[in-house]
């Protein structure tokens, strides 16, 4: 449980505040072609906190480029970079150096979480970049889904407290930063925030929230956590896209089924069943693609950190929701195919009966004449 905090304004924190922005812009990005178009470099694999043969490795590392400076209405100037992922997500990371006390950090967190629409300000910058990259975009979307996330990365805290001391002395402040709230949080809420923390060494800390995270670590040590938070948010964005796609497709199929189950209505189900099956295949392929974009080989800490980040931002919830809609769509597909097969069987039987009737007519006509 976090304890009382005194003289917190005298504590100096040094680090940076990062704004992660994710845009789902197309079905896929041809990274090899993109690299030729914009003369960019693939992202390097993150260095780990501890020496080990295992590492976090992207199957297809994103392409990285510097980004234009983002200037806020407050006059703050954020340096950034843009990353292109092969599964159709563009990620923008803006960064602002920070050197001040806890109250300043809490105020900044509250203002940026609730008052600044970073996605709206970055959208035009991203659209301008994508004009040059257009040939590498597969089936670009007109409407983009977006996600934003804040990371408060502090490299130094005066007094160099241990993690135990940091939680005891400044736990409520950390909770306020993660929640983006300047008010005094209840003890239960602080405990709820601080339960979602993870450390590898005695002098590093990551507290993960649903829309922000607090990191206390060196620049090298925090690199993996930042990349995993970025990846978890991009996965959330992808599953949101799949959820919207399946919702629209199910609504279309339900309307078609409600139109009736007569002979000709059943016959029309064939085309819709084929379209639905194509969507299911696309969702399965894209889900596997996004799910397997990063591999945790033997770094168990990175794997645990990713699972914590993914659970806090909501990846498992959306993945389960997509899974349920896929199951519903599969049931509908089988129903539509069954209805079509029944119609086809009826028509075949009717055709056989008509042929028999014609043959009988000709046979009796031959006997009569």
Same structural domain for residues 35 and 108? yes
Bridge-partner residues for 42, per DSSP? 63
307 belongs to a structural domain: yes
257 shares its domain with 298: yes
Task: Report the greatest alpha carbon distance in the chain.
Answer: 118
| C-alpha distances in Å from residue 234, one per residue of 21, 89, 90, 231 | 9, 7, 9, 5
Look-up: residue for tokens 């300043």? 104
231, 251, 280 — which closes off a domain?
A: 231
Q: Is 3 a domain residue? A: no
| Backbone Cα Rg of the chain | 28
- What pLDDT is attached to residue 195? 96
Pick from 242, 349, 293, 231: nearest CA to 57: 293
- Among the candidates 199, 214, 231, a domain finishes at 231
- Domain end position, chosen among 209, 231, 253: 231
Residue 122 forms part of a structural domain: yes
Distances (CA, A) of 172 to 151, 165, 167, 184, 210: 17, 12, 8, 8, 17
SS3 210: coil
- The Cα 361–Cα 367 span in angstroms is 10
For 43, the token pair is 């992202």
Contact 227, 254 (CB under 8 A): no
Indicate whether 201 and 258 sit together in one domain: no
Q: What is the pLDDT of residue 153?
A: 98
Residues 6+ apart with CB under 8 A from 37: 132, 133, 135, 136
How far is 190 from 245, CA to CA, in rounded Å?
37
209 lies in the same domain as 315: no
Six-digit token string for 159: 């007094």
Residues 69 and 169 in one domain: yes
Whether 299 is covered by a domain: the verdict is yes
Q: Does one domain contain both 220 and 266? A: no
Residues 6 or more apart whose CB falls under 8 angstroms from that of 74 comprise 111
Would residue 158 count as lying in a domain? Answer: yes
Q: Do 156 and 288 fall into the same domain?
A: no
Check whether residue 221 and residue 269 sit in a common domain: no
Cα–Cα distance measured from residue 208 to residue 214, given in angstroms and rounded to the nearest whole number: 7
Token pair belonging to 47: 């260095």
Structural domain includes residue 265: yes
Which segments within 227-352 are labelled E, that is strand?
A: 294-296
Element (H, E) at 99: strand 89-100
Roughly how many angstroms between the first and final C-alpha of the chain, as a whole number?
106
For residues 123 and 195, membership in a common domain is answered with: yes
Residue 272: which domain range?
239-361
Q: Identify the H or E element spanning 109.
A: helix 102-114
In a structure prediction context, what are the per-residue pLDDT tens digits for the chain, which is 369 residues long?
Answer: 444 444 555 789 999 999 999 999 998 999 999 998 887 666 665 555 544 434 466 778 889 999 989 999 889 999 999 999 998 999 999 999 999 999 999 999 999 999 999 999 899 999 999 999 999 999 999 999 999 999 999 999 998 788 999 999 999 999 999 999 999 999 999 999 999 999 999 889 999 999 999 999 999 889 989 989 998 999 899 889 889 988 888 888 777 777 655 545 555 666 677 777 777 877 777 677 666 766 665 678 888 999 999 999 999 898 888 888 888 877 777 776 666 666 666 667 667 778 877 777 777 766 555
Q: Domain count of the chain?
A: 2
pLDDT recorded at residue 208: 97
- Within-domain flag for 86: yes
Do 107 and 254 have their domain in common?
Answer: no
H or E segment and range at residue 207: strand 205-208
User: Would you give the DSSP letter of residue 204?
Assistant: -
DSSP label at residue 162: -
| Structure-token match 């994710």, residue found | 22
Whether 1 is covered by a domain: the verdict is: no
Judge if 60 and 29 occupy the same domain.
yes
Q: Do 44 and 191 belong together in one domain?
A: yes
Close Cβ partners of 271 (under 8 Å, ≥ 6 residues apart): none
């Amino acid at each position: 449980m976090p304890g009382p905090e005194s003289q917190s304004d005298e504590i100096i924190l040094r680090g940076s505040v990062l704004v992660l922005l994710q845009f789902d812009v197309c079905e896929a990005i041809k990274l090899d072609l993109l690299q030729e178009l914009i003369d960019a470099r693939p992202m390097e694999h993150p260095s780990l906190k501890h020496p080990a043969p295992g590492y976090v490795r992207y199957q297809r590392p994103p392409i990285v480029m510097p980004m234009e400076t983002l200037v806020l209405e407050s006059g703050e100037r954020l340096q950034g970079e843009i990353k292109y992922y092969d599964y159709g997500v563009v990620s923008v990371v803006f960064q602002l150096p920070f050197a001040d006390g806890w109250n300043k950090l809490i105020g900044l967190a509250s203002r940026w979480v609730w008052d600044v629409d970073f996605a709206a300000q970055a959208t035009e910058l991203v659209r301008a970049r994508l004009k040059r990259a257009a040939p590498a975009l597969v089936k670009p979307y007109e409407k983009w889904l977006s996600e934003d996330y804040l990371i408060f990365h502090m490299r130094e805290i005066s007094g160099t407290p241990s993690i135990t001391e940091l939680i005891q002395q400044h736990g409520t402040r950390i909770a306020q930063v993660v929640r983006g709230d300047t008010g005094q949080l209840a003890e239960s809420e602080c405990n709820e925030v601080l339960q979602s923390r993870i450390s590898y060494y005695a002098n590093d800390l990551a507290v993960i929230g649903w829309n922000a995270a607090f990191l206390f670590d060196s620049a090298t040590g925090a690199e993996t956590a930042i990349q995993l938070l970025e990846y978890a948010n991009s996965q959330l964005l992808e599953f949101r896209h799949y959820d919207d796609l399946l919702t629209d497709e199910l609504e279309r199929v339900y309307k078609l089924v409600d139109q009736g189950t007569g002979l000709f209505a059943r016959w029309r189900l064939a085309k819709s069943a084929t379209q639905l099956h194509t969507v299911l295949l696309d969702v399965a392929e894209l889900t596997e693609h996004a799910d397997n974009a990063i591999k945790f080989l033997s770094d168990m800490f990175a794997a645990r950190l990713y699972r914590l980040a993914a659970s806090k931002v909501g990846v498992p919830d959306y993945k389960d929701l997509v899974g349920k809609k896929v199951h519903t769509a599969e049931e509908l597909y089988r129903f539509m195919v069954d209805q079509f097969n029944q119609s086809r069987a009826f028509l075949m039987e009717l055709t056989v009966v008509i042929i028999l009737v014609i043959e009988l007519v000709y046979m009796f006509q031959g006997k009569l004449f």
